[in-house]
Amino acid sequence: MKTRRGAPLWTTGATRFAGMPSAHARIGIVVLLVFLAACLGAITSPGPRPSSASGIAAGSVAADPPPPGQTDLLLYQSIVAGIRGGSPYYTAAAEAQRMGHYPLKPFFAVRLPTLAVVEAALPPMLVNLLLLGLCVGTILAWVARLRPTMTGLVPLGAAGLLGVAGLFVNLDPSFVVFHEVWAGPLIAVSLALRRPGHWLPAVAFGLSAMLIRETALLYVAIMAVFAWLEGERRETLGWLGAIAIFAVVLAAHAHAVSLVSGPLDRVSQGWSGLEGFGFYVRLATISSGLDILPQWLASLVLGMALFGWLAWRDAVATRALVVFAAYAALISLFARSDNFYWALMTTPVLLVGLVFAVDGLRDMIAAARDTRRITVTRVIR
């Protein structure tokens, strides 16, 4: 027997938990509590704060310690300065990475040139304005995407504020040289724009994210799989075409890196942190507006945001949840304690899920408490 759904609070449509059998709802509540407990593992997980210079230290540095004060932030700034000084990108990158004791092998230890070349060609003020524009565009894209699903201005305004909280680090001009600061919002915009039969802008933004940060390939691959599963042949070809373009660019990048690296250059120690799910939660909280909260509270809020994405009965919510899960797995398995910025690929819209958690939690609790019984009465004549 299914339960009735109460009047909507923040969302106009039914959540995934509306009408759930009471037994299933009670199991769901137990699973949610276990999941929230897993999120609390962030309390004991390592993780630098994004405002700390030591926290940004060399995510791909070799075994020997870097020079005093050397950080990834300084590395990327040095590369941009070198290009502005007239050096080709790969020459500037190789010199900066050698000076900072960074590896040049394998080739993906060197970032793609897209962001550094563009930033070197533009005045710093214009670069900051472009990043601000991207962040504002991300918020507006999601407000427009959510407007038909919200019951009024209060939940819609809350979604906008949660978008601002998710872009907390991205809005800091001092991080403008970080590739994830750009790639994360590009992925978020791509998700917001994608609709059945209207996928070209989403593919374009996804390709842009890949050309800035290689790990955006994970997002594009997920979108291609979803398009294929839903029988969207043209969209599938669009995502695969973006991956093909990226593969060509990556091959050219690998060749260019090989021309500036030598046998004595450092080799990366690899990415195999194996820090666990709590580590992802910690990095995601310190890479968003949740950084102002105590870690235990921030962890629970983030867990409820993920629950909210699960509650929203919409195709974009399913895609978003799979993307978050995939990057969480990537970070849990491969990121090290000094790779806080990896989480920036997911934080721009992650907290928006809280607006759906309101109705989702209400529906699940209501279903669990439903004690209606069917009484059968025999009438004897």
Tell me the per-residue pLDDT of 114-163, one tens digit each, with 9 for 90 and over.
999 999 999 999 999 999 999 999 999 999 999 999 988 999 999 999 99
Residue type, 24: H
- pLDDT reported for residue 335: 80
- pLDDT reported for residue 5: 55
Asked whether residue 214 carries a pLDDT value surpassing 90, the answer given is yes
Strand, helix or coil for residue 271: coil
- pLDDT reported for residue 159: 95
Q: How far apart are the first and last CA of the chain?
A: 30
Query: Positive or negative, the Cα torsion across 191, 192, 196, 199?
Result: negative
- pLDDT reported for residue 374: 46
Asked whether residue 78 carries a pLDDT value surpassing 60, the answer given is yes
Asked whether residue 197 carries a pLDDT value surpassing 60, the answer given is yes
- pLDDT reported for residue 273: 65
Of 60-64, 84-88, 297-301, minimum mean pLDDT range: 60-64
Q: Whole-prediction pTM value?
A: 0.89
Higher-scoring residue by pLDDT: 1, 245: 245
Q: Of all helices (H) and strands (E), which one includes residue 24?
A: helix 22-39
- pLDDT reported for residue 58: 37
Q: For 267, list phi and psi in degrees, rounded to 5.
A: -110, 135
Spatial contact of 119 and 80, defined as CB atoms under 8 Å apart: yes
- For the record, the structure tokens of 181 come out as 């600061």
Q: How far apart are CA 358 and CA 364, in angstroms?
A: 10
Asked whether residue 12 carries a pLDDT value surpassing 70, the answer given is yes
Spatial contact of 336 and 275, defined as CB atoms under 8 Å apart: yes
Mean pLDDT of 219-241: 96
Q: What's the chain's average pLDDT?
A: 88
Asked whether residue 269 carries a pLDDT value surpassing 90, the answer given is no
- pLDDT reported for residue 118: 97
Mean pLDDT of 177-194: 96
Q: Specify which of 2-11, 59-68, 242-251 reaches the highest per-range mean pLDDT.
A: 242-251
Asked whether residue 290 carries a pLDDT value surpassing 70, the answer given is yes
- pLDDT reported for residue 209: 97
With the CA atoms of 328, 330, 332 and 337 taken in that order, what torsion angle do they form, in degrees rounded to the nearest 10? Answer: -110
Asked whether residue 339 carries a pLDDT value surpassing 80, the answer given is no
Mean pLDDT of 98-113: 91
Q: Which residues pair with 105 in a beta bridge?
A: 267
88 CB burial (10 A radius; 0-12, 13-18, 19+): middle
- pLDDT reported for residue 59: 41
- For the record, the structure tokens of 114 come out as 């897209």
- pLDDT reported for residue 270: 65
Asked whether residue 206 carries a pLDDT value surpassing 90, the answer given is yes
Q: For 66, list phi and psi in degrees, rounded to 5.
A: -75, 165
Tell me the per-residue pLDDT of 347-372, one tens digit each, with 9 for 90 and over.
999 999 999 999 999 999 988 887 66
- pLDDT reported for residue 51: 36
Strand, helix or coil for residue 11: strand
- pLDDT reported for residue 13: 83
Mean pLDDT of 373-380: 49
Question: What are the boundaries of each domain within the chain?
Answer: 22-52+131-369
Q: How far apart are CA 274 and CA 332, in angstroms?
A: 6
Q: Which residues pair with 267 in a beta bridge?
A: 105
Tell me the per-residue pLDDT of 26-76, one tens digit each, with 9 for 90 and over.
999 999 999 999 999 999 887 664 433 333 333 444 345 666 667 888 999
Greatest Cα pair distance in the chain: 101
- Rounded percentage of the chain residues whose pLDDT exceeds 70: 88
Q: How far apart are CA 253 and CA 259, in angstroms?
A: 10
- Tracing tokens 């790639």 back to the chain, one arrives at 183
Q: Which residues pair with 198 in a beta bridge?
A: 195
